[in-house]
Amino acid sequence: MKKIKVLQINKLYYPDIGGIERTVQQIAEGLKDKVEMSALVCQPKGHGVIEEVNGVVVQRCGSFGTLFSMPISLSFLWQLRIKSRKQDILQFHSPFPLGDLACLLSGYRGKVVLYWHSDVVKQKKLMILYRPIMEKFLKRADAIIVGSDGVIKGSSYLMSYQNKCVTIPFAVNQKIEQMGKKYMDQAKPNMEKYARFLFVGRLVYYKGVEVLIQAFESVENAELTIIGCGDRENDLKAYVKKRGMSERVHFLGKVEEERLYCEFSECDVFVLPSVEKSEAFGLVQLEAMAYGKPVINTNLPSGVPEVSINGITGLTVEPGNKHELGDAMQWLVEHPYERFEMGNAARKRLDNNYTLDVMMNRMMELYERLLKDG
């Protein structure tokens, strides 16, 4: 039987890593044996290149750099037009305005799948120019994938297209899933009234790390580790130093994979303090849950609070509320048994809902249904 030809299309690809890039890589590598899979992306800056990454052919189009979080690449428009001619399905990962435009200009008549990761939130003024293109692209799409029902409800744009929407939950990286299980099989629970909190993510506006650090000021018998880089890093470090918290708040910057696994195993609680619905799901929650860690997340109008459930696998607080966040952190410090039970429940929820097998099976079913429908 002839294999389905699928092209994954995104701004960037591994080793450039963010939540979206991880998902693109998961799909590409997870289905490469079942379909004829390739990827078309951009360089952050520089000349184009074609290479094979873990068995997936990845073409990185040259770009002049990045403007408003989008690579500026003229060759991308042309390359999509060429490569699309041989594909059964084009799968775009949004938000990526250049991708929307490239598809509409390509003349491609096959099936288009749009993976909607989040609304455009930060560059609201640019939506005046982008929205007409986005709306045409949403009408063009044959299916729109979302990671949770909350993404549809919280979106300013998807309600008119909800008949096209298909919910396929994200999946945790298989290696982390296995490493987490190995850790849980031999780990001894920390029953002290002392907790190590962990944050992993980019230090940018919507992640709410400022709120996290302000909330942590009032938390006793605890320490906080922050992994990640971003444009807020220097300001955050200066605030910590000014407030005399340098011995309790540790900035590790960008870390290697093995160090990341180590930090997941050594923490007691993971915190995702995001303040904007740009955080559509919070994939890193799954990584913490793989290690049996309870999660403090925020009640955003997105999929974030659907991943870790308030009172069962962790605690959910209102976004931007430092007092509520501080109280939640202090409660978990003082309740080690409940902390342990929530962590176990987190791992069970992951196993039942967010594994790669579940995600890939649903993705493959969607591909086959689209092509069967003609």
> In order of start, what are the domains of the chain with their CATH numbers?
5-171+355-372 (3.40.50.2000), 174-353 (3.40.50.2000)
Tell which wins on pLDDT, 68 or 235: 235
Q: For 162-175, how does the pLDDT look when each residue is reduced to its tens digit (9 = 90+)? A: 999 999 988 888 88
Please say if the pLDDT value at position 193 is more than 90: yes
- Percent of the chain residues topping a pLDDT of 70: 98
CA-nearest of 67, 63, 84, 57 to 75 is 63
- This prediction has a pTM of 0.76
Q: How does residue 123 score in pLDDT terms, banded at 50, 70 and 90?
A: low
Helix (H) or strand (E) holding 315: strand 314-317
The three-state (H, E, C) secondary structure of 348-360, written as one string: HHHHHHCCHHHHH
- Check if the beta carbon of residue 271 is closer than 8 Å to that of residue 284: no
pLDDT mean across residues, the chain: 93
What's the rounded mean pLDDT across residues 126-136? 89
CA atoms within 13 A on the CB side of 354: 27
The position carrying tokens 């250049």 is: 98
- In this predicted structure, the answer to whether residue 71 has a pLDDT above a threshold of 80 is yes
E-strand stretches of 193-290: 195-200, 222-227, 249-253, 269-271
AA letter at 10: N
Sign of CA dihedral 22, 27, 33, 35: negative
Please choose, from the candidates 110, 58, 57, the residue with its C-alpha nearest in 3D space to the C-alpha of residue 88.
110
Give the tokens for residue 357: 């097998």
CA pair distance 262, 86, nearest whole angstrom: 44
Residue 147 pLDDT exceeds 80: yes
The 10s digit of each residue's pLDDT in 90-117 is 999 999 999 999 999 999 999 999 999 8
**Which tokens sit at 67?**
């403007």
Whole-number pLDDT of residue 122: 66
Q: What is the largest CA-CA distance in the chain?
A: 65
Check residue 374 and give its pLDDT.
Answer: 67
